[in-house]
Amino acid sequence: MCMEKAGVFLCIFIFYFNLRTGGSRYMRSIWITPGFAANAQDSTCIPPLYLLAKELLHRGVDLHIIALEYPNARVAPREDGMMVYPCRGDNRRWLRWRTFQRARRFAQQLSSEKKADVVHSFWLGPAWVVGRQIARRQNIPHRTTLMGQDVLPQNRYLKGLTPGMASQLVALSPFHQNILEKTCGLHAAHEIPWGIAGADVPTQLPKDRPVDVLGVGSLIPVKNWMQWLEVLRLIVERQPGVQAELIGEGPQLEVLKQQTTRLGLAKHLTFPGSLPRPEVLERMRRSKILLHTGHFESFGYVFAEAAANGCRVVSTPVGAAPAFGICSETNTGLAEAVLRILAQPDLQNAKVVYRMEDTAAAYLKLYGG
């Protein structure tokens, strides 16, 4: 009788465990990525990738991450439980072949312990090439998530894609899909948006938001910050008390500061520099509107982060922006949208369009788990 009760208890435990983990316990997945967070505190290195890894680990996936370029360290135990194998490419072209060789050796060592169920590359380019070779050698499925500008026409490796490879590709948004189709005529068979982790959704939002307009991102040409400043100028002309922040660092910093002075915005705009992700999320909670004027985004995780922190989104129609807020292609349209929002009460609830648990579930389905 005791043995029968123990058997029933064990069955219930296994059922509950599989329910919590998505039934994916012991599925081995090898990731190939240019970079991955060096530790749990490395909050600025591809945050959604790290958060997806955490969610998959929570669901019992046996995840191993081969990082081609970053971090520039050796394999060592990590407090966060991530199994990361740095190839120490450090973005130096003359080490590229050695980097590939290290990646292959790591994959071979892992397969000697236990054959992987799937190889997952992030970005086309080197990660895709390495992942494809590993998958062929081990005779296992290969999946590739298109992460950004890897879908643009200037990337010659896109000519190597064939229609049959479309079934292996994952896009991040309808905009991303559209760019891929225009570039090489292929439609990725899968579209999986980045979700927000539950821990990043505040339970309570502040009543006071002293920053009217917020900008977040690398200060590089593709983010189109010159247009951002022009839109801010139009806003300030209509509402002189507006206060704005532009968070980030990059090669355009000094040029943008000079343009800020020329446009008469020095009293309205501050440049806090690069900040850790937790502080950026806090700044979003203190801001009314995220203004984004980028030329291109594959998804734009900043949209999801802002919305989850009660910060409304106004953007050019790139990435997943239409799912999170108001879009316009013109300076006037963007400025008008910001001014309309500033006349409204601040949001008191988080807006979560996609959740990381759903992103993880979609990838598990793609893996066959």
- The ranges assigned to domains in the chain are 21-195+356-367, 199-342
Token pair 């982060």 is at which residue? Answer: 305
Pairing of strands 269-273, 211-216: unpaired
pTM, to two decimals: 0.90
CATH class of 21-195+356-367: alpha beta
Three-state DSSP at 91 gives coil
Tokens of 10: 């064990």
Q: How distant, in Å, are the alpha carbons of 18, 160, 215, 355 from that of 13?
A: 9, 48, 48, 26
Q: Which two tokens stand for residue 19?
A: 């329910």
- Which tokens is 259 given? 């343009």
pLDDT tens digits along 308-363:
999 999 999 999 999 999 999 999 999 999 999 999 999 989 999 999 999 999 99
Token pair in block for residue 279:
């502080």
What letter represents residue 138's amino acid?
Q
Give the pLDDT confidence of 118-165 residue by residue, as tens digits: 999 999 888 999 999 999 999 999 999 999 999 999 988 888 888 999
pLDDT value, residue 6: 40
Element (H, E) at 334: helix 331-342
- Amino acid letter, residue 98: R
Three-state SS sequence of 193-233: CCCECHHHCCCCCCCCCCEEEEEECCCCHHHCHHHHHHHHH
DSSP SS3 for 311: coil
244-247 and 211-216 strand pairing = parallel
Q: Which letter does DSSP use for residue 14 in this model?
A: H
The answer to whether the 21-195+356-367 and 199-342 domains have the same CATH topology is yes
Helix or strand run (H / E) with residue 289? strand 287-292
**What's the order of all strands across the beta sheet hosting 325-327?**
269-273, 244-247, 211-216, 287-292, 312-315, 325-327
* CB atoms closer than 10 angstroms to residue 248: 21
Nearest to 73 by CA among 104, 35, 122: 35
Query: Which distant-in-sequence residues (6+ apart) come within 8 Å of 48 by Cβ?
Result: 194, 299, 301, 356, 359
Residue 299 burial (10 A CB sphere; 0-12, 13-18, 19+): buried
| Mean pLDDT of successive 10-residue stretches along the chain, which has 369 residues | 41 38 69 96 95 96 96 91 92 72 92 93 92 94 96 88 92 97 94 97 93 98 98 98 98 98 98 97 98 98 98 98 98 98 94 97 91
CATH code assigned to 199-342 = 3.40.50.2000
Q: Which amino acid is at 157?
A: Y
